[in-house]
Protein backbone atom coordinates (compact mmCIF):
# COMPACT_ATOMS: atom_id res chain seq x y z
CA UNK A 1 0.00 0.00 0.00
CA UNK A 2 1.22 3.48 -0.88
CA UNK A 3 -0.48 6.54 0.67
CA UNK A 4 1.39 8.72 -1.82
CA UNK A 5 -1.17 7.74 -4.47
CA UNK A 6 -3.68 9.97 -2.64
CA UNK A 7 -1.57 13.04 -3.39
CA UNK A 8 -2.56 13.46 -7.03
CA UNK A 9 -4.88 16.07 -8.51
CA UNK A 10 -7.48 13.56 -9.86
CA UNK A 11 -7.75 11.66 -6.54
CA UNK A 12 -7.96 14.87 -4.51
CA UNK A 13 -10.59 16.13 -6.98
CA UNK A 14 -12.70 13.00 -6.38
CA UNK A 15 -12.44 13.50 -2.61
CA UNK A 16 -13.37 17.18 -3.03
CA UNK A 17 -16.45 16.28 -5.11
CA UNK A 18 -17.45 13.68 -2.49
CA UNK A 19 -17.17 16.29 0.25
CA UNK A 20 -19.11 18.87 -1.79
CA UNK A 21 -21.97 16.47 -2.59
CA UNK A 22 -22.11 15.34 1.05
CA UNK A 23 -22.25 18.93 2.34
CA UNK A 24 -24.96 20.24 -0.01
CA UNK A 25 -27.04 17.08 0.43
CA UNK A 26 -27.11 17.32 4.21
CA UNK A 27 -26.97 21.06 4.87
CA UNK A 28 -28.96 22.28 1.86
CA UNK A 29 -31.25 19.61 0.42
CA UNK A 30 -32.24 17.74 3.60
CA UNK A 31 -32.15 20.79 5.86
CA UNK A 32 -34.34 22.87 3.53
CA UNK A 33 -36.70 19.94 2.93
CA UNK A 34 -37.51 18.50 6.37
CA UNK A 35 -34.82 19.97 8.62
CA UNK A 36 -31.85 18.11 10.03
CA UNK A 37 -33.30 18.08 13.55
CA UNK A 38 -36.49 16.27 12.54
CA UNK A 39 -36.78 12.48 12.65
CA UNK A 40 -37.01 12.28 8.85
CA UNK A 41 -34.03 14.59 8.51
CA UNK A 42 -31.89 12.54 10.89
CA UNK A 43 -32.84 9.31 9.13
CA UNK A 44 -32.00 10.64 5.66
CA UNK A 45 -28.77 12.16 6.95
CA UNK A 46 -27.79 8.84 8.55
CA UNK A 47 -28.50 6.84 5.37
CA UNK A 48 -26.60 9.29 3.17
CA UNK A 49 -23.68 9.41 5.60
CA UNK A 50 -23.53 5.62 5.48
CA UNK A 51 -23.43 5.66 1.66
CA UNK A 52 -20.77 8.40 1.65
CA UNK A 53 -18.65 6.41 4.11
CA UNK A 54 -18.85 3.31 1.90
CA UNK A 55 -17.85 5.42 -1.10
CA UNK A 56 -14.79 6.79 0.64
CA UNK A 57 -13.86 3.36 2.03
CA UNK A 58 -14.12 1.82 -1.45
CA UNK A 59 -12.07 4.67 -2.91
CA UNK A 60 -9.35 4.15 -0.29
CA UNK A 61 -9.11 0.45 -1.13
CA UNK A 62 -8.93 1.21 -4.86
CA UNK A 63 -6.12 3.71 -4.32
CA UNK A 64 -4.10 1.79 -1.74
CA UNK A 65 -4.47 -1.85 -2.80
CA UNK A 66 -2.07 -3.30 -5.35
CA UNK A 67 -4.19 -4.47 -8.31
CA UNK A 68 -2.17 -7.64 -8.76
CA UNK A 69 1.51 -8.22 -9.39
CA UNK A 70 2.87 -11.14 -11.40
CA UNK A 71 5.00 -13.32 -9.06
CA UNK A 72 8.69 -13.13 -9.89
CA UNK A 73 8.79 -16.92 -9.84
CA UNK A 74 6.00 -17.28 -12.40
CA UNK A 75 6.67 -19.53 -15.37
CA UNK A 76 4.07 -20.92 -17.80
CA UNK A 77 3.14 -24.58 -17.56
CA UNK A 78 4.15 -25.62 -21.07
CA UNK A 79 3.11 -29.23 -20.48
CA UNK A 80 -0.52 -28.29 -19.82
CA UNK A 81 -2.33 -27.93 -23.13
CA UNK A 82 -5.91 -29.00 -22.40
CA UNK A 83 -8.75 -27.88 -20.20
CA UNK A 84 -8.52 -29.32 -16.71
CA UNK A 85 -10.66 -28.72 -13.62
CA UNK A 86 -10.61 -25.05 -12.70
CA UNK A 87 -7.49 -24.20 -14.64
CA UNK A 88 -6.96 -23.88 -18.34
CA UNK A 89 -3.97 -24.56 -20.52
CA UNK A 90 -1.68 -21.57 -20.54
CA UNK A 91 0.29 -20.67 -23.60
CA UNK A 92 3.60 -18.91 -23.16
CA UNK A 93 3.04 -15.15 -23.26
CA UNK A 94 5.99 -12.88 -22.75
CA UNK A 95 5.97 -9.18 -21.97
CA UNK A 96 8.53 -7.38 -24.12
CA UNK A 97 8.76 -4.47 -21.70
CA UNK A 98 9.09 -6.48 -18.47
CA UNK A 99 11.09 -9.18 -20.28
CA UNK A 100 9.18 -11.83 -18.34
CA UNK A 101 6.36 -14.30 -18.84
CA UNK A 102 2.85 -13.13 -18.06
CA UNK A 103 -0.28 -15.22 -17.35
CA UNK A 104 -3.48 -15.09 -19.36
CA UNK A 105 -5.56 -11.93 -18.83
CA UNK A 106 -2.44 -10.07 -17.67
CA UNK A 107 -1.45 -6.88 -19.48
CA UNK A 108 1.33 -4.34 -19.25
CA UNK A 109 0.36 -0.90 -17.95
CA UNK A 110 2.36 1.90 -19.54
CA UNK A 111 1.58 4.25 -16.63
CA UNK A 112 2.50 1.83 -13.82
CA UNK A 113 5.31 0.40 -15.98
CA UNK A 114 4.60 -3.19 -15.02
CA UNK A 115 2.28 -6.07 -15.78
CA UNK A 116 -1.04 -6.25 -13.88
CA UNK A 117 -3.02 -9.44 -13.24
CA UNK A 118 -6.44 -9.45 -14.94
CA UNK A 119 -5.99 -5.80 -15.86
CA UNK A 120 -9.18 -3.90 -16.69
CA UNK A 121 -7.78 -0.41 -17.24
CA UNK A 122 -5.64 2.27 -15.65
CA UNK A 123 -7.86 4.79 -13.84
CA UNK A 124 -6.49 8.29 -13.30
CA UNK A 125 -9.25 9.00 -10.75
CA UNK A 126 -7.78 6.45 -8.32
CA UNK A 127 -4.19 6.94 -9.52
CA UNK A 128 -3.90 3.17 -9.85
CA UNK A 129 -4.66 0.28 -12.16
CA UNK A 130 -7.93 -1.60 -11.84
CA UNK A 131 -7.04 -5.29 -11.79
CA UNK A 132 -7.56 -8.65 -10.15
CA UNK A 133 -7.19 -7.55 -6.52
CA UNK A 134 -9.07 -4.21 -6.51
CA UNK A 135 -11.70 -4.66 -9.22
CA UNK A 136 -14.43 -5.50 -6.69
CA UNK A 137 -13.65 -2.35 -4.69
CA UNK A 138 -13.72 -0.29 -7.91
CA UNK A 139 -17.07 -1.75 -8.93
CA UNK A 140 -18.56 -1.07 -5.49
CA UNK A 141 -17.13 2.46 -5.54
CA UNK A 142 -19.06 3.14 -8.76
CA UNK A 143 -22.13 1.36 -7.35
CA UNK A 144 -22.26 3.28 -4.07
CA UNK A 145 -21.41 6.57 -5.78
CA UNK A 146 -24.26 6.03 -8.29
CA UNK A 147 -26.76 5.21 -5.54
CA UNK A 148 -25.62 8.21 -3.46
CA UNK A 149 -25.91 10.61 -6.41
CA UNK A 150 -29.38 9.37 -7.37
CA UNK A 151 -30.45 9.61 -3.72
CA UNK A 152 -29.09 13.16 -3.50
CA UNK A 153 -30.90 14.11 -6.72
CA UNK A 154 -34.20 12.80 -5.29
CA UNK A 155 -33.65 14.84 -2.12
CA UNK A 156 -32.95 17.90 -4.28
CA UNK A 157 -36.22 17.43 -6.17
CA UNK A 158 -38.14 17.06 -2.89
CA UNK A 159 -36.49 20.19 -1.55
CA UNK A 160 -37.33 22.22 -4.67
CA UNK A 161 -40.98 21.11 -4.74
CA UNK A 162 -41.48 22.07 -1.11
CA UNK A 163 -39.77 25.48 -1.38
CA UNK A 164 -40.67 26.38 -4.97
CA UNK A 165 -42.45 29.62 -3.99
CA UNK A 166 -39.61 30.91 -1.81
CA UNK A 167 -37.03 30.09 -4.50
CA UNK A 168 -39.01 31.90 -7.21
CA UNK A 169 -38.40 35.32 -5.69
CA UNK A 170 -34.74 34.72 -4.87
CA UNK A 171 -32.69 34.75 -8.08
CA UNK A 172 -29.28 33.85 -6.56
CA UNK A 173 -30.77 30.92 -4.60
CA UNK A 174 -32.76 29.78 -7.62
CA UNK A 175 -29.61 29.87 -9.77
CA UNK A 176 -27.73 27.89 -7.13
CA UNK A 177 -30.41 25.19 -6.99
CA UNK A 178 -30.54 24.93 -10.79
CA UNK A 179 -26.74 24.58 -10.89
CA UNK A 180 -26.93 21.87 -8.21
CA UNK A 181 -29.61 20.08 -10.21
CA UNK A 182 -27.58 20.12 -13.42
CA UNK A 183 -24.47 18.96 -11.56
CA UNK A 184 -26.23 16.11 -9.71
CA UNK A 185 -28.16 14.87 -12.74
CA UNK A 186 -25.02 14.92 -14.88
CA UNK A 187 -23.06 13.07 -12.20
CA UNK A 188 -25.85 10.50 -11.76
CA UNK A 189 -26.06 9.81 -15.50
CA UNK A 190 -22.27 9.52 -15.85
CA UNK A 191 -21.85 7.16 -12.89
CA UNK A 192 -25.00 5.22 -13.78
CA UNK A 193 -23.69 4.62 -17.30
CA UNK A 194 -20.33 3.48 -15.94
CA UNK A 195 -22.10 1.17 -13.48
CA UNK A 196 -24.19 -0.36 -16.26
CA UNK A 197 -21.06 -0.95 -18.32
CA UNK A 198 -19.28 -2.81 -15.54
CA UNK A 199 -22.40 -4.84 -14.69
CA UNK A 200 -22.33 -6.00 -18.31
CA UNK A 201 -18.63 -6.86 -18.07
CA UNK A 202 -19.07 -8.80 -14.82
CA UNK A 203 -22.08 -10.70 -16.23
CA UNK A 204 -19.86 -11.87 -19.13
CA UNK A 205 -16.69 -12.27 -17.05
CA UNK A 206 -14.80 -9.79 -19.21
CA UNK A 207 -12.40 -6.96 -18.59
CA UNK A 208 -12.58 -3.74 -20.59
CA UNK A 209 -9.48 -4.80 -22.53
CA UNK A 210 -10.94 -8.24 -23.28
CA UNK A 211 -14.20 -6.69 -24.48
CA UNK A 212 -12.45 -4.70 -27.18
CA UNK A 213 -10.18 -7.63 -28.05
CA UNK A 214 -13.24 -9.90 -28.44
CA UNK A 215 -14.84 -7.67 -31.07
CA UNK A 216 -12.58 -9.08 -33.80
CA UNK A 217 -13.16 -12.66 -32.62
CA UNK A 218 -16.91 -12.05 -32.70
CA UNK A 219 -16.70 -10.62 -36.21
CA UNK A 220 -14.67 -13.57 -37.47
CA UNK A 221 -17.09 -16.05 -35.85
CA UNK A 222 -20.12 -14.43 -37.46
CA UNK A 223 -18.35 -14.25 -40.79
CA UNK A 224 -17.72 -18.00 -40.72
CA UNK A 225 -21.26 -18.74 -39.53
CA UNK A 226 -20.25 -19.80 -36.03
CA UNK A 227 -21.38 -18.64 -32.60
CA UNK A 228 -18.94 -16.90 -30.29
CA UNK A 229 -18.69 -17.05 -26.52
CA UNK A 230 -16.06 -15.37 -24.43
CA UNK A 231 -13.41 -17.84 -23.25
CA UNK A 232 -14.00 -17.16 -19.55
CA UNK A 233 -17.80 -16.81 -19.65
CA UNK A 234 -19.08 -19.47 -17.23
CA UNK A 235 -22.67 -18.26 -16.89
CA UNK A 236 -23.99 -15.17 -15.12
CA UNK A 237 -23.97 -16.48 -11.54
CA UNK A 238 -20.47 -17.99 -11.71
CA UNK A 239 -19.21 -14.87 -13.44
CA UNK A 240 -20.58 -12.70 -10.64
CA UNK A 241 -19.13 -14.89 -7.88
CA UNK A 242 -15.72 -14.80 -9.56
CA UNK A 243 -15.64 -11.06 -8.84
CA UNK A 244 -17.85 -10.45 -5.80
CA UNK A 245 -17.12 -13.76 -4.04
CA UNK A 246 -19.14 -16.87 -3.29
CA UNK A 247 -20.68 -15.44 -0.11
CA UNK A 248 -23.73 -13.36 -1.16
CA UNK A 249 -23.79 -11.60 2.22
CA UNK A 250 -20.35 -10.11 1.46
CA UNK A 251 -21.10 -9.04 -2.10
CA UNK A 252 -21.58 -5.41 -1.05
CA UNK A 253 -18.50 -5.37 1.19
CA UNK A 254 -15.68 -3.49 -0.59
CA UNK A 255 -12.92 -5.62 0.92
CA UNK A 256 -11.41 -8.12 -1.45
CA UNK A 257 -13.00 -11.56 -1.22
CA UNK A 258 -10.64 -14.34 -2.15
CA UNK A 259 -12.06 -17.15 -4.25
CA UNK A 260 -10.81 -20.23 -6.10
CA UNK A 261 -9.06 -18.08 -8.72
CA UNK A 262 -5.63 -16.73 -7.90
CA UNK A 263 -5.27 -14.15 -10.64
CA UNK A 264 -3.06 -16.48 -12.68
CA UNK A 265 -5.28 -19.48 -13.42
CA UNK A 266 -8.93 -18.99 -14.41
CA UNK A 267 -11.86 -21.27 -15.06
CA UNK A 268 -12.77 -21.33 -18.72
CA UNK A 269 -15.73 -22.34 -20.83
CA UNK A 270 -15.32 -25.51 -22.89
CA UNK A 271 -17.58 -24.27 -25.68
CA UNK A 272 -15.95 -20.85 -26.14
More confident residue, 231 or 57: 57
Q: What average pLDDT does this structure show over 50-70? A: 95
> Half-sphere exposure of 143 toward its Cβ, with a 13 Å CA cutoff?
17
Q: What average pLDDT does this structure show over 118-130? A: 96
Angle at 109 between CA 267 and CA 139, to 5 degrees: 55
Contact 116, 67 (CB under 8 A): yes
> What pLDDT is stored for residue 90 in this prediction?
42
Angle at 203 between CA 201 and CA 204, to 5 degrees: 65
Q: What average pLDDT does this structure show over 115-127? A: 96
Catalytic residue check, 123: yes
Residue 246 has pLDDT above 80, yes or no: yes
> What pLDDT is stored for residue 257 in this prediction?
65
Q: What average pLDDT does this structure show over 54-62? A: 96
Calpha distance 151→127 (Å, rounded): 27
Give me the helix-helix angle, 9-24 and 135-162, nearest 10°.
30
Q: What is the DSSP secondary structure assignment for residue 30, as one 8-state letter?
A: I
What is the pTM for the complete model shown? 0.90
Confidence band for 4, pLDDT divided at 50, 70 and 90: confident
Catalytic residue among 55, 62, 115, 123: 123
CB-count exposure of residue 172 (10 Å: 0-12, 13-18, 19+): exposed
Calpha distance 236→56 (Å, rounded): 29
Q: What is the DSSP secondary structure assignment for residue 95, as one 8-state letter?
A: E
Calpha distance 112→97 (Å, rounded): 12
Q: What percentage of the chain has pLDDT greater than the value 90?
A: 64
> What pLDDT is stored for residue 224 in this prediction?
77
CB-count exposure of residue 203 (10 Å: 0-12, 13-18, 19+): middle
CA-based end-to-end distance of the chain? 37
Instruction: State the average pLDDT for the chain.
Output: 88
Of 23-32, 67-76, 228-237, 259-268, least confident by mean pLDDT is 259-268
> What pLDDT is stored for residue 81 in this prediction?
42
Confidence band for 122, pLDDT divided at 50, 70 and 90: very high
Residue 65 has pLDDT above 80, yes or no: yes
Residue 28 has pLDDT above 90, yes or no: yes
Calpha distance 222→229 (Å, rounded): 11
Calpha distance 19→23 (Å, rounded): 6
Confidence band for 214, pLDDT divided at 50, 70 and 90: confident
Amino acid sequence: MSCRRFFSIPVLSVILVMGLVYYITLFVFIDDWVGLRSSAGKLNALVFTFLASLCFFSLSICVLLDPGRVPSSYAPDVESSSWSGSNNGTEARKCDKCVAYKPLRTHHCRVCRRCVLKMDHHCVWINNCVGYANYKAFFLLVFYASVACIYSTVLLVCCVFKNAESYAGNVPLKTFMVACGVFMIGLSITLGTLLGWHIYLIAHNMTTIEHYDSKRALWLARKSGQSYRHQFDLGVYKNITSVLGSNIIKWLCPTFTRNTEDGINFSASRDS
